Structure 1
Amino acid sequence: MTLITGHRGARNLWAENSLTGFRNVLQLGVDAVEFDVHLTNAGELLVIHDAMLDRTAEGTGPVRLLTPEARAGMKLKGTDEGIPTLADVLDVIPPATGLALHVEIKLDETGTPYPGIAERIAQELARFGVEERTHLTSFDTSVLEDCRRYAPHIARLVSVNAAWAERQGGLAAFLDRVDDLVEIVAVHHELMEAQWDLIARTLPLERLCVWTLNDEETLRQWLERDIGHLTSDSPDIALALRAAQSSRSNLLQPTH
């Protein structure tokens, strides 16, 4: 069965990377939730996707320069909520939920890894007791190597799209390089479709994740391939399709 991950909470349903989104996605029945983490110069781990504040928050400039005082007075656009810290998010997704976490470690606005961010995130995950159900994720293999160095017991996921694969010397070389670094390889759906034969030959289906799927037809097609993981901004649609697929499969089972 394909496991379904809510992307940035479930950003087609609620404000992305918002506490409301994380609280509500718990009620959907997703298998995992994905969110993004930046590190500020003040030492705060903030859950926000972009390295710049402008798109999703009522502020401007790099996330890394945001002070705790400025953050306290800043809202996410279209909400009455502020930018949550990693601790805020982990507090609303307690271990008892059993929900898996895909924690993407972001780069700063220059494309540079934040010094020490992997270790800081690992410490916070340990404090909340959620290490065993977490994958630390990144496009950047140097970040994932830091994760392995500081927290080898926490699973890892690498993301790749066509442009990134080309920058890494081609998809085949990239897949070979990350094989023993990560448990899951998350491939953009266009690249996955274009290079399906290569990818399926190289990795078992349970180690694959396809992202980010939102329309019903594309979701249905990938659910039928029975890969390990699927990420969606609209996990409600994905869950409904998976349930329908399961029901059809049960009806086709022979009876005795």
Structure 2
Amino acid sequence: MIFTGGAVELHGHRGARGLRPENTLAGFAHALELGVDAIELDVGITADGVVVLNHDQVLSPVTLADTAPARPGDPLFPYVGRAIRDLTLEQVKTLEAGVRRPRGDDDPFVLTQLPVPGTSLPTLAEACALLSGAYDVVLAVELKTDPSWPDADVERFTAAVAEVLEEFGLTGRSRLLAFDWRVLTAAQRHAPAAGRVALVERRTLVPDSPWLAGMAPDDPAGSAMKIGATALSPEHHLTTPVLVDEAQTLALPVVVWTVNEPEEMSRFIGYGVDAIVTDYPDRLRTVFAEHRLPLPRPMAAPIPQ
């Protein structure tokens, strides 16, 4: 999936996290209705091998709540606080994912996110079914692993994601994202037609980093190119004009994340980034309009019942 030269892409983070519950069909539908170039989403894999959407490997009480056990007397209930890899799809599907429950008063999203009670975590297949009709929209699928995962598990997970994308004919307009760069090498084998996005943040760019599959942390753009990435995606704290220039000189588009304030959006547009990831697609659309940048077209996306 090639970036459009000369334009800046608008990516909805976890759908539209600032406006609707994250990684849900309701959030994706709202992002499509606003108009985005790409929808970023996070995936994990259940104990029975199903790819499901969720940001954290361990189920968080901020975004999820238990309802009832999948079966009476289930010894693993309650499920919140457990790893997705330890639960089956049947157990994951009991969780309420439509109401944010912040632990303190400093959660910015609780003030702007519209709850959608009765929402469950979707499978990747369910998300693909919704997004397959949005013909212009890229799927930016982040695979949630970490250096503690055995290589075989990373390979199996990547293959499972690739299989779902292929089933829906979405490989060619998908990008696979990872902080754990072993995913990028596995993606070359299992989804060669998909983009491969090297994610970096300050904690992964350290000496002898276990995240970078043996690549050097002091040259993120060059290392991303060597590992076979087709784009570099640094956190906004790391994104400087020098890094943007270094990456683009290597023909690596730069996708900066996560940018929510209009002045910061304008700053990164000035840096010449290729895409901006935001929790607030509505704000970024306003900034795009102010800069006379092309706006992705809104599209209706009814949520499957």
Asked if these proteins are the same fold (TM beyond 0.5), I'd say yes
- Give me the whole-angstrom Cα distance separating, in 2, the residues matched to 1:42 and 1:137: 23
Is the 2:98–2:120 Cα contact (8 Å) retained in structure 1?
no
Report what 1:57 is aligned to: 64
TM-score, length-scaled by structure 2 = 0.75
Give CA deviations for 1:218-252 in whole Å, capped at 9, x if unaligned.
Answer: 011112333211101111101111012107xxxxx
Amino acid paired to 2:44: H
Runs of 4+ in structure 1 deviating by more than 3 angstroms, as ranges, are 108-115
Report what 1:120 is aligned to: 160
Shift of 1:170: 2.8
Name stretches of at least 5 consecutive residues in structure 1 with no aligned partner: 248-256
Taking structure 1 as reference, are residues 171 and 235 closer, same or farther at Cα in structure 2, changes over 3 Å only? farther
- Give me the whole-angstrom Cα distance separating, in 2, the residues matched to 1:202 and 1:87: 33
Tell me, yes or no, if structure 1 residue 72 matches structure 2 residue 93. yes
Instruction: Kindly report which structure 2 residues correspond to 1:188-227, keeping only aligned pairs within 5 A, or say none.
Output: 188-193=235-240, 196-204=241-249, 207-227=253-273
Taking structure 1 as reference, are residues 225 and 25 closer, same or farther at Cα in structure 2, changes over 3 Å only? same
- How large is the Cα RMSD of the aligned pairs? 2.0
Report what 2:138 is aligned to: 100
**Could you say which structure has the higher helix fraction?**
1
Q: Percent identity?
A: 28
- Give me the whole-angstrom Cα distance separating, in 2, the residues matched to 1:176 and 1:206: 9
- Give me the whole-angstrom Cα distance separating, in 2, the residues matched to 1:119 and 1:94: 20
Tell me, yes or no, if structure 1 residue 149 matches structure 2 residue 189. yes
SS of 2:256's partner is strand
Shift of 1:64: 1.1
SS of 1:123's partner is helix
Taking structure 1 as reference, are residues 164 and 207 closer, same or farther at Cα in structure 2, changes over 3 Å only? same
Is the 2:84–2:92 Cα contact (8 Å) retained in structure 1?
no
Is the 2:16–2:278 Cα contact (8 Å) retained in structure 1?
yes
Shift of 1:54: 2.3
Taking structure 1 as reference, are residues 108 and 85 closer, same or farther at Cα in structure 2, changes over 3 Å only? farther
Shift of 1:191: 0.8
- Give me the whole-angstrom Cα distance separating, in 2, the residues matched to 1:48 and 1:105: 10
Shift of 1:177: 2.2
Is the 2:16–2:31 Cα contact (8 Å) retained in structure 1?
yes
SS of 1:214's partner is coil
Is the 2:13–2:279 Cα contact (8 Å) retained in structure 1?
yes
Amino acid paired to 2:53: V
Shift of 1:155: 1.3
Amino acid paired to 1:45: V
Report what 2:301 is aligned to: none
Name stretches of at least 5 consecutive residues in structure 2 with no aligned partner: 1-6, 66-79, 100-116, 294-305
Shift of 1:102: 0.3
**Relative contact order higher in (CA < 8 Å, ≥ 6 apart):** 2
Corresponding pairs, count? 244
SS of 1:140's partner is coil
SS of 1:8's partner is coil
Please identify, of 94-103 and 139-148, the stretch whose mean Cα deviation from structure 2 is larger.
94-103
Report what 1:46 is aligned to: 52
